[in-house]
Amino acid sequence: MSAIPAPELPLCASCDAVCCRLTVVLQPEDRIPAHLTEHTPAGLTVMARDAEGWCVAIDAARMCCSIYETRPEVCRRFVMSGPYCRAVRTDYLESTSRDIPLTLYS
C-alpha cells in the first residue's frame, strides 16, 4: 500500500510577496487606471511601485490586490508556486540572505 502524497501548498503563506514587487509591464489591452501606472525611461507603461518597491495596487491592510478583477494579463498568467514563482522567490531569498559582516566601533 503506497501513501498518497499531500497536495503541495502554495508558498504564498511563507513568502515575502516577491511577485508583488516585480516590474509589471502593461499591454495595450490592460485597462489599468493611469494613477496606478508609470512610464519607464525605455517608454514602457508599467504598474507603479511605492517607495518600498510594492505594487501600488496592493491593499496593504489585507495584503491582496485591490484591482484583482481587472488586474493586468501578466499578473493573471503568474502561477502561484509555478516554476517562475519558485525561481523569483529563490533569487530573492538568495539576494537577501547574504551575510554582510557588521563591525561596531566604540
Global pTM exceeds 0.75: no
- Tell me which H or E stretch contains 91: helix 83-96
Four-CA torsion 81, 84, 89, 92, nearest 10 degrees: -170
- Model pLDDT, residue 106: 46
What residues in the chain have per-residue pLDDT under 50?
1, 6, 106
- Model pLDDT, residue 70: 95
